[in-house]
Chain A
Amino acid sequence: GAVVSQHPSWVICKSGTSVKIECRSLDFQATTMFWYRQFPKQSLMLMATSNEGSKATYEQGVEKDKFLINHASLTLSTLTVTSAHPEDSSFYICSALRGRAGYEQFFGPGTRLTVL
């Protein structure tokens, strides 16, 4: 149990276009999901906390208008990188919290975004 999927696993896009990444909890409900960004050989950097049915909470320094997050159901959160630029190229990873009072975060496999 506790499987989280991400789609797509990798994407290449042109500068100026928007890219949507989906995060799904496959066998449990997740009222809270998190979005991280990871640069090569570095740790995970939390971008935002996504709560089902409400607005996401963004970490300091993360542009909410550039990284749009929607958590429309208990099993799906999406991250849209708007007007992507080469500096947005990174590994994006989501995680889902199991249960309303859960501690454990289960991570998706990540999405490699390359902006040309």
Chain B
Amino acid sequence: GENVEQHPSTLSVQEGDSAVIKCTYSDSASNYFPWYKQELGKGPQLIIDIRSNVGEKKDQRIAVTLNKTAKHFSLHITETQPEDSAVYFCAASRAAGNKLTFGGGTRVLVKP
């Protein structure tokens, strides 16, 4: 089955700096890669996603890049703000309607 590795497990950045989280996956058939933000005591919230036919996607301060050959994808947050502090999860799935395999999560702390 699919295996998703996520690094780093914790990330501390100064407000205004950029944060980068990287994930690798094992199943070459995976073609959908979402990123979720989870705040304490809440459910995950979809913040951005990318499909295998696209190499990069951007939404304001958040961007995701995908390298299918190397089987890795990354989340980039620019101009970080204290409200970006949360746990971020990457995930992968094979097709529409399929289950997601999650990475282990990255705890991001943005210091004011």
A54 proximal to B (CB < 8 A):
no
Which B residues lie within 8 Å of A44 (CB)? 44, 89, 102
- Total contacting residues, chain B, CB less than 8 A: 22
Which of B11-19, B45-53, B58-66 forms contacts with chain A? B45-53
Contact A103 B43, CB 8 Å, known A43-B103, A43-B104, A43-B105: no
A107 to B102, CA, bound (A): 14
B41 proximal to A (CB < 8 A):
yes
Which B residues lie within 8 Å of A32 (CB)? 97
Which B residues lie within 8 Å of A102 (CB)? 96-97
Docked-complex contact A100 and B97, CB < 8 angstroms: yes
Q: How large is the interface on A (under 10, 10 to 19, 20 to 34, 35 or more residues)?
A: 20 to 34
Which A residues lie within 8 Å of B89 (CB)? 43-44
Q: Taking the nearest CB of chain B, how far is it from the CB of A94, in angstroms?
A: 8
A108 to B107, CA, bound (A): 20
- Across the A-B interface, give the 4 residue pairs with the lowest CB-CB distance, nearest first: A107-B43, A109-B43, A110-B43, A101-B96
CB within 8 Å of A: which residues of B?
32, 34, 36, 41-46, 49, 51, 89, 93, 96-97, 99-100, 102-105, 107
Contacts A/B (CB < 8 Å), 20 sampled: A42-B104, A43-B102, A43-B105, A44-B89, A44-B102, A93-B43, A97-B97, A100-B97, A101-B96, A101-B97, A103-B32, A103-B96, A104-B46, A104-B49, A105-B34, A107-B36, A107-B45, A108-B43, A109-B42, A112-B41
CB within 8 Å of B: which residues of A?
4, 6, 32, 34, 41-44, 46, 49, 93, 95, 97, 100-110, 112
